[in-house]
Amino acid sequence: MDHNPHGDKLQRRAIQLGLKGEILRQFCKEWIISIQDITEFVHEQGHRLKNDFGNLEVIKEEVYLTNSSEVKSYLSLSK
């Protein structure tokens, strides 16, 4: 299940992808170009979640749709 900004469960399913082997090595050693401390941003968003929800900054998500029956079967998708 996926969750909204308040932590409530949504009716859609979320998929987490895991990396391993060479792809994981590349991700860790080559693809990460910086690491930032976003503590202040997280505190600000927590304040907005409680007091200014309309200005909450969230990442843009996109729904991935597939016509592949093999992928749908593997992921247990009905649509």
What confidence tens digit (pLDDT) does each residue in 5-59 have? 888 898 887 777 788 999 999 999 999 999 999 999 999 999 998 898 889 898 8
The long-range contacts involving 18-26, CB below 8 angstroms and separated by at least 24 positions, are: none
For the chain, what is the domain count? Answer: 1
Note the pTM of the prediction, 2 decimals: 0.53
Closest CA relative to residue 71, chosen from 62, 79, 61: 79
Residue 26: give the domain boundaries.
1-79
Q: Are residues 49 and 3 in contact, defined by beta-carbon separation less than 8 angstroms?
A: no
Give the model's confidence band at 62: pLDDT under 50 very low, under 70 low, under 90 confident, else very high. Answer: confident
pLDDT, residue 44, reads 94
